[in-house]
Amino acid sequence: MTARKSQFSANKQGQIGLLNQPLVLLLLVLCFFSAMGVRLFWLQVLQGTFYRKLSDENRIRLVSRPPIRGRLLDRTGKILADNRLTYALSIQPRLVSKEQWPLLREKLSQLLDISEESLNDRFTKGINRDPFRITLARDLTPEQVLRFKERDRTLKGAQIDIELVRFYPYGTLASHVLGYTQAITQDEYKVLDEKGYQIRDRIGRTGVEAAYEPYLRGQWGGEMLEVDAAGTVQRSLGVKPEEAGRDLVLTLDWNLQVAAEKALLGKKAGAIVVLDPRNGAIKAMASRPTFDPNFFSKTFTRQKEYDDLFLSPRMPLFSRAVNAYDPGSTWKPVTAMAGMETGMFPADVRLKTTSCLKYGGHCFREHNGEGFGTIGYEDALRVSSNTFFYQVGVGVGAKALYSAATALGFDSLTGIEISYEESKGIVGNEAWAAKGRGWGKPGTTPWIPEDIASASIGQAVVQITPLQLARAYAVFANGGYLVTPHLADMNIDWTASNYRQKVDIQPSTLATIRRGLRKVVQSGTGSRVNLNLPNLPPVAGKTGTAEDSSGGSDHAWFVCFAPYEQPEIVVVAFAQNTPGGGSVHALPMARQILKEWNHLQVKVGDNSNS
């Protein structure tokens, strides 16, 4: 009986198990299809955009087209900066696996005669910077490009890119003005990406290249190509034309710039600025030592080349035209202006000069060791008397001297487009000294009598740039207007009131200073300007010999304008740490510029008459 019950129970359980099998299968099927549904939902809905992008990247190839950067031209249309076409070898890492790279590297090395070590080094460094495209070699020869094109179907992932690099046909000419371009960094790209830059882009680093970057650069274009699994182009899906940058016509005159560069030859360091006093247009601006901006377009530089440019004590990248130095006697018209404008030393004043005047604990000497008798402003400028201007400067005080200096644009930036490279200089005064003079603790460097005496003749506590000096003398040349120096006209009226301000100066003050500067050239320290230049229009100017407050040898200066009655040109010549006097070293430099300028004026006149 018990056995029969056990058998019945077992049969019943088996029947139940058979009945449950379809349900289990159904549950399994439901789970399987649910998993598939979830996966499909994940792939097509939640991750659809991502995988669609991957698919397109395998099917679609984007060929970027860099914009042509605008050229830099002188005022006559002579090309100062252009673009040169080059070919580069690049690779798209997403199309080449780690296993495929060694074989591709070997093929490229043998085909293009480029070392595997170099290719691998560029690949390794580039993979972290740009996962989409890595440049393996630049400046490929036409022969290398042809070899690649013959075998490109077997070199999947590699391609030849056309690149444009900046080219300066005259090398070092006006290099500090033009500046240079350089590849953007990874950090810069994070910001510039929103402005349409690409990781392979170049950007203006200094000079006009940087100041007018948005105007010059243009916009990238490209073509979208559909390719098959072998990388063969099937069709074009669309083209976006690149937008070329605009050419920029500068105010520079090539002939005057060449003359300025030549005038600086043989000088240890220095600068020349040529300015139109009527509107502030810069006709030439040169600095020495100089550099070749083509250096920054090279794909490979030796360590010595790099050190000579960036680590040299001569500092060739440093523009002396916009850096500040002790001005010496070229500053004396500022002191003259302060004396006359305060009324304490009117235009007809006459002062007795002597061999030495004592201020504080120091004896301030006359440069000829004797004095020049009793003289007025005009003769004081003509012979460059120190003791005359000591009396005026100390008499009016630092506040009045500072007021005259700032009215002429000193102790501030000039407004030139490359002002980010410009020094505003120093015009010492009580407030400046109380704050520590830029190097000491506030309250520890008080203003002393010796300071105002030194400031009266542009020494020790006064530092200005050659460009600031040119701008200040333009005020004496143009009848009392402070102009804005500029390197490109850009359809701007530079004589409008917001670019050319009337200086608050009495006509008698202006006339007295002008006559004094004319006498400097007629019979004073600047008379050698007319040497061997009998047809040169009347010139007015001022020499300067300045002690270097940093401890070096004397600086030599000469500043002038011409023609005297209706000036069209201001020239500042500066020879850094060149002892011997402004009339000996700086004046001949300015004379070369005046000679070339006069030659050009005569040439223009002859052409107009014909």
CATH number at residue 221: 3.90.1310.10
pLDDT given at position 289: 97
Q: Which residues pair with 271 in a beta bridge?
A: 287, 574
What's the average model confidence in pLDDT over 298-315? 84
Domain end, chosen from 247, 270, 294, is at: 247
pLDDT given at position 81: 97
Each residue's pLDDT tens digit, 9-56:
555 555 555 555 677 677 777 776 677 766 666 656 665 665 555 455
pLDDT at 127 over 80: no
- Listing DSSP states for 54-90 in one string gives HHHHHHEEEEEEPPPPPPEE-TTS-EEEEEEEEEEEE
- Domain of residue 229, residue span: 168-247
pTM: 0.84
Q: Tokens at residue 365, please?
A: 């000497």
What's the average model confidence in pLDDT over 154-178? 90
Q: Quote the mean pLDDT of the chain.
A: 88
What's the average model confidence in pLDDT over 115-127? 84
Same domain, 506 and 523: yes
Same domain, 110 and 187: no
Same domain, 113 and 258: no
What's the average model confidence in pLDDT over 60-72? 79
Same domain, 332 and 469: yes
243 secondary structure, DSSP code: B
Dihedral (CA of 38, 44, 45, 49) sign? positive
pLDDT at 89 over 60: yes
Domain end, chosen from 167, 182, 207, is at: 167
pLDDT given at position 386: 97
What distance in Å separates the CA atoms of residue 474 and residue 420, rounded to the nearest whole number?
A: 22
Same domain, 271 and 391: yes
The DSSP element (H or E) to which 402 belongs, if any, is helix 398-407
386-396 helix and 332-342 helix, angle to the nearest 10 degrees: 40
pLDDT given at position 98: 81
Same domain, 357 and 476: yes
Same domain, 451 and 409: yes
Buried b (16+ CB within 10 A) or exposed e, 330-363: bbbbbbbbbbbbbeebbbebebebbeebebeeee
Domain end, chosen from 145, 167, 189, is at: 167
pLDDT given at position 91: 87
Asked whether residue 76 is assigned to any structural domain, the reply reads no
What's the average model confidence in pLDDT over 84-90? 87
185 secondary structure, DSSP code: P
Asked whether residue 156 is assigned to any structural domain, the reply reads yes
Same domain, 215 and 288: no
What distance in Å separates the CA atoms of residue 169 and residue 208, rounded to the nearest whole number?
A: 16
pLDDT given at position 212: 97
Each residue's pLDDT tens digit, 439-474:
899 999 999 999 999 999 999 999 999 999 999 999
Q: How many CB atoms lie within 10 A of CB 314?
A: 11
**Helix, strand, coil percentages for the chain (3-state, nearest 5):** 45, 20, 35
- At 583, the amino acid letter reads S
pLDDT given at position 54: 45
Closest C-alpha to 366, from 453, 276, 462: 453
pLDDT at 588 over 70: yes
Each residue's pLDDT tens digit, 201-235:
889 999 999 999 999 998 887 766 666 555 555 66
- Listing DSSP states for 514-533 in one string gives HHHHHHHHHHSTTGGGGTT-
Higher pLDDT, 247 or 122: 247
Sorting pLDDT into bands at 50, 70 and 90, what band is 2? low
Q: What percentage of residues in the chain have a pLDDT greater than 90? A: 61
Asked whether residue 102 is assigned to any structural domain, the reply reads yes
pLDDT given at position 377: 98
Cβ pair 463, 425 in contact under 8 A: yes
What distance in Å separates the CA atoms of residue 545 and residue 542, rounded to the nearest whole number?
A: 10
Asked whether residue 179 is assigned to any structural domain, the reply reads yes
What SS3 class is residue 540? strand
Same domain, 436 and 516: yes
pLDDT at 3 over 80: no
Same domain, 452 and 389: yes
Provide φ and ψ at 223, rounded to 5°: -130, 140
> How many domains, in total, are found in the chain?
3
Asked whether residue 55 is assigned to any structural domain, the reply reads no
